[in-house]
Structure 1
Amino acid sequence: MAKAAHNAAVIGGGWAGCSAAVELARAGCKVTLFEAARTLGGRARAVDVQGRQLDNGQHILLGAYKESLRLMRAVGIDLRAAVLTLPLQMRYPRDSGGMDFVAPRLPAPLHLALALLRADGLAFADKMALARFSSTARWMDWRLHNDCSVSELLERYDQTERLIELMWRPLCLAALNTAPERASAQVFLAVLRDSLGASRASSDMLLPRVDLSALFPVAAAAFVERAGGTVRLGAKVDTLAPADGGGWLLGDGEHFDAVVIATAPPAATTLLEQAGAAALAATLQHFEYEPITTCYLQYPAATRLELPFYALRDNAASGHWGQFVFDRGQLDPAQAGLFSVVISASGAASELGREALAGAVAAQLAAVLGRPQLAQPAWVQVISEKRATFACTPGLARPANTTGLARLALAGDYTASDYPATIESAVRSGVAAARLVLAQQAVEK
């Protein structure tokens, strides 16, 4: 790797910014990481709920998240302790009208074939449709000549209504946080490539046992500091200008040889305009956003699910908004009796108001799990991340990491990638931005 610039600034302490900071520090940079909030992690961070550290949203990682896992190891995270590893699965509560699909620990593609053969709750026609779709997608190398909506893709390949309801729609919502009717089929195929179409280990589902800030950002900050860098929390950077003789001036005139902007698009737009990249800044203003809501429900400590998590059949007409429920006590014993229910693309659900939504979610759990006591949790907390992700629509133009300006790069889960707005796309973008400024340094020398 190229010799690093003497000092570098990373603006934004989310997963993209922390990844860029670690990559720069590993290359020998003296890094200053700026984060406007008091907590690292951005839109995947820890929050204080009822006196305990939980997350602003429940997440599942995949074994295919190679860059995320690489950097976690690099900063000292013990992955065996930090995540619960489960085989690829889509499992619904018994007698809820769902299905039970779980991949055995066999080499690919045998794991998928056997999972399909054993799946309960799917008719022969459903299984054949899934097998046909999977084999066709492999033959296409998981790529389309022209992007379209996920709904159009599923209709084109004759997917059954039940398979769409129980498999494709929940997967699309969970991965892209965008309804199938308006979600990008090409991005969805990329997710399927690394889950249904991947090796057994790559398709594993990883559930964090620790809060999202502790899973990487906090350890990343400690890594940067051990390497001689600095982490500044509660430090908003609102000005960025080119310096005479090269480099960049931040805030009150602090000089840095290189800068990575790793903020959300609105803040990045302002900084890019100041830096002289107005054309790039303009491309960040066309994003639309989708919310994600997580509802935490506390029950007596002995309350458990049979599995660490279940998929749920959501139906707005029935007041069933939850799409997945997680038993947090099976991830962290200190959270015994705590359930988290996720609602992706939750705009309509949020219109109910927090109290009404929490009541509806508790009633849904009581009904589908056949346990009336779940309708009365000891306490609830509803957390809505209003701009959790960009709406991942067909043909969406996403900016590159390069800004066209020397030693200034852009990072974020919204930059160009075949992935939707996930932790892995944020990490990949941060790494790419760091390597970009390091490569520019090498060329200049």
Structure 2
Amino acid sequence: MSVTKKAVAVIGGGWAGCAAAVELARKGVQVTLFEAARTLGGRARAVDIDGRLLDNGQHILLGAYKETLSLLSRVGVDPKTALLRLPLQMRYPEHSGGMDFVAPRLPAPWHMTIALLRAKGLARADKLALARFWTAARWMGWRLDTDVSVRTLLERFEQTARLQRLMWDPLCLAALNTPPERASANVFLAVLRDSLGAKRAASDMLIPRLELSALFPQAAARYLAANGGSVLTGLKAAALQRSGDGWSVAAAGADERVFDAVVLATPAAQSGFLLAPFPETAQLAEQLQAFEYEPIATCYLQYDPGLRLPLPFCALLDAPEQRHFGQFAFDRGQLDAAQAGLLAVVVSAAGAAAALAQDELARAIAVQLDAAFPGLGLAAPQWSRVITEKRATFACTPGLQRPGNATPLPGLVLAGDYTAGDYPATLESAVRSGQAAASVILRGNRSGRENGSLSHGAGGGKSASVQ
């Protein structure tokens, strides 16, 4: 007597969708993964630009990303070789007016204590302010009873202007992709709690050596194929319909298919569009379509292959009013020998920068790099390209309501970095959301009440736009 496997459709092949698909396949579910683009990965994948494979956004992971690191191992990617692991640091180019803060490889909390004592570029008042903040944050359990902006949090704990500019503001932009004046203090504190406030290894910074498609999505596709699943790229789910106890998925260019359950791992607005026709999810659909977004721009600049920055990556002093938009610079050649001489400069919350033409922004960043690293001849790159993800992440504002994984519709769940959780829109929150969505299906939840659709929290997406 044969037993028919449960069939589940995962709609959306970003990191959340791939994580859900892998978890379901691991538990013996028959998975079909639909992705509208020709490649998997959503907002964290490689794109072909003039014959070059470039990531549609430069990422840093943290040692605290336990689920992501575990998932990479599960699909056959060794994090030790795929990622460059560096100790927690905030380092600016020498003589640029920044700071040099590096945590030694000592047990917590000594790594932070020694890093603070050794930090260069901070005055005694800056160091005392940071120590006060650290002590107070731990004392209050890394959470405020009433959420406020990150800027309000920093001012409440009397953080100096220099410390805010050199450390807290860049960390906020990198983690939440939302300006400190509008970013959620509680989400920021949650990131600090699980990284800087946890074991030393949790605060390590992990930079991908592989291009993002090879880091996870391609390995996830291989895992699905090896475990009886299928991946259908270039197919956009146009509509969902109930079909008995299951769901019918209509995709352009393909026959309609029926599944026992569906994971909606598309961007929030698209998921809202697919849910809008059902009265039970009308309110949820409105919530999903009401998210505000922040852009991220990544500027790639190619120089002579012999070029090498003093560090694999470093912070930059941004000053948009002076057309200094870059916040972090990465020497891709120190991560992958095949990319020697290639620099990647990231601009988070990039509204002003994204408004510029590609060539204009690239020229401004090249001038900024040349000023930060005098003598290297960075003002005139051989080649440059700006990749802008205009809806890179949701705006992570105080008290933001974010949906849970379950919906009021039986057998239909959400997955995405925007769903309820402690973190902002990161790879880790996407992976956690995908795995949580898979768990709801595996538990056979049919009430739609668990992980209700209006809970608080934190939570990738579709294609990059090249300016």
TM tier relative to shorter chain: over 0.9
2:333 paired residue among 311, 329, 334: 329
CA distance in 1, matches of 2:307, 2:345: 15
Range that drifts further, 340-349 or 404-413: 404-413
Q: Please say if residues 411 and 446 of structure 2, whose CA atoms lie closer than 8 Å, have aligned partners that are also in contact.
A: no
Paired residue secondary structure (1:170): helix
Q: 1:442: how far off?
A: 9.9
Q: 1:285: how far off?
A: 1.9
Q: 1:275: how far off?
A: 4.9
- Please list every run of 5 or more consecutive structure 2 residues that lacks an aligned counterpart in the other structure: 448-467
CA distance in 1, matches of 2:12, 2:174: 25
Matched to 1:386, the amino acid is K
- Once the two structures are aligned, what percentage of the paired residues are identical? 65
1:170-199 deviations in Å (ceiling 9; x for gaps) = 000010000000100000101111222121
Range that drifts further, 312-321 or 382-391: 312-321
2:223 is matched with 223
Q: 1:441: how far off?
A: 6.2
Q: 1:378: how far off?
A: 0.3
1:259 is matched with 262
Paired residue secondary structure (1:427): helix
Q: Please say if residues 327 and 338 of structure 1, whose CA atoms lie closer than 8 Å, have aligned partners that are also in contact.
A: yes
Distance 1:84 1:28, change over 3 A: same
Matched to 1:272, the amino acid is L
Range that drifts further, 175-184 or 399-408: 399-408
2:393 is matched with 389
Q: 1:344: how far off?
A: 0.2
The TM-score normalised by the length of structure 1 is 0.97
Q: 1:372: how far off?
A: 5.5
Matched to 1:256, the amino acid is F
CA distance in 2, matches of 1:156, 1:441: 43
Q: 1:279: how far off?
A: 2.0
2:311 is matched with 307
Kindly report which structure 2 residues correspond to 1:58-207, keeping only aligned pairs within 5 A, or say none.
58-207=58-207
Matched to 2:50, the amino acid is Q
CA distance in 1, matches of 2:272, 2:214: 29
CA distance in 1, matches of 2:407, 2:305: 52
Q: Please say if residues 409 and 446 of structure 2, whose CA atoms lie closer than 8 Å, have aligned partners that are also in contact.
A: no
1:270 paired residue among 264, 270, 273: 273
2:289 paired residue among 274, 285, 288: 285
Q: 1:258: how far off?
A: 1.1
Matched to 2:344, the amino acid is S
Q: Please say if residues 407 and 437 of structure 1, whose CA atoms lie closer than 8 Å, have aligned partners that are also in contact.
A: yes
Q: 1:316: how far off?
A: 1.3
Matched to 2:47, the amino acid is V
2:461 is matched with none
Matched to 1:200, the amino acid is R
CA distance in 2, matches of 1:198, 1:102: 16
CA distance in 1, matches of 2:303, 2:371: 16
**Aligned pair 1:247/2:250, yes or no?**
no
Matched to 2:287, the amino acid is T
1:430 is matched with 434
Paired residue secondary structure (1:154): helix
CA distance in 1, matches of 2:340, 2:153: 41
Q: 1:371: how far off?
A: 2.6
1:187-223 deviations in Å (ceiling 9; x for gaps) = 0101111222121111110000001111111101111
CA distance in 2, matches of 1:149, 1:435: 33
1:55-94 deviations in Å (ceiling 9; x for gaps) = 0000000010011111111000011111000000000000
Q: 1:317: how far off?
A: 1.9
1:406 paired residue among 400, 405, 410: 410
Q: Please say if residues 413 and 422 of structure 1, whose CA atoms lie closer than 8 Å, have aligned partners that are also in contact.
A: yes
Kindly report which structure 2 residues correspond to 1:360-399, keeping only aligned pairs within 5 A, or say none.
360-371=364-375, 373-399=377-403
Matched to 1:149, the amino acid is S
CA distance in 2, matches of 1:263, 1:285: 12
Q: 1:274: how far off?
A: 3.6
Range that drifts further, 263-272 or 307-316: 263-272
Q: Please say if residues 5 and 438 of structure 1, whose CA atoms lie closer than 8 Å, have aligned partners that are also in contact.
A: no
1:303-331 deviations in Å (ceiling 9; x for gaps) = 00111001000001221110000000000
Paired residue secondary structure (2:220): helix
1:354 paired residue among 354, 358, 365: 358
Distance 1:296 1:7, change over 3 A: same
Paired residue secondary structure (2:151): helix
Paired residue secondary structure (1:53): strand
CA distance in 2, matches of 1:133, 1:262: 38
Alpha carbon RMSD of aligned pairs, Å? 1.5
1:319 is matched with 323
CA distance in 2, matches of 1:205, 1:96: 22
Distance 1:26 1:129, change over 3 A: same
4+ residue runs over 6 A deviation: none
1:381-428 deviations in Å (ceiling 9; x for gaps) = 100000000000000000010102222110000001110000000000
CA distance in 1, matches of 2:377, 2:71: 42
2:457 is matched with none
Matched to 1:281, the amino acid is A
The TM-score normalised by the length of structure 2 is 0.92
CA distance in 2, matches of 1:96, 1:315: 13
CA distance in 2, matches of 1:437, 1:146: 33
CA distance in 2, matches of 1:77, 1:285: 35
Matched to 1:339, the amino acid is L
Matched to 1:250, the amino acid is V
Matched to 1:416, the amino acid is A
Paired residue secondary structure (1:440): coil
CA distance in 2, matches of 1:220, 1:4: 24
Q: Please say if residues 4 and 24 of structure 1, whose CA atoms lie closer than 8 Å, have aligned partners that are also in contact.
A: no
CA distance in 2, matches of 1:209, 1:367: 27
Q: Please say if residues 54 and 211 of structure 2, whose CA atoms lie closer than 8 Å, have aligned partners that are also in contact.
A: yes
Distance 1:418 1:4, change over 3 A: farther
Range that drifts further, 122-131 or 265-274: 265-274
CA distance in 1, matches of 2:172, 2:160: 16
CA distance in 1, matches of 2:141, 2:4: 38
Q: Please say if residues 4 and 441 of structure 1, whose CA atoms lie closer than 8 Å, have aligned partners that are also in contact.
A: no
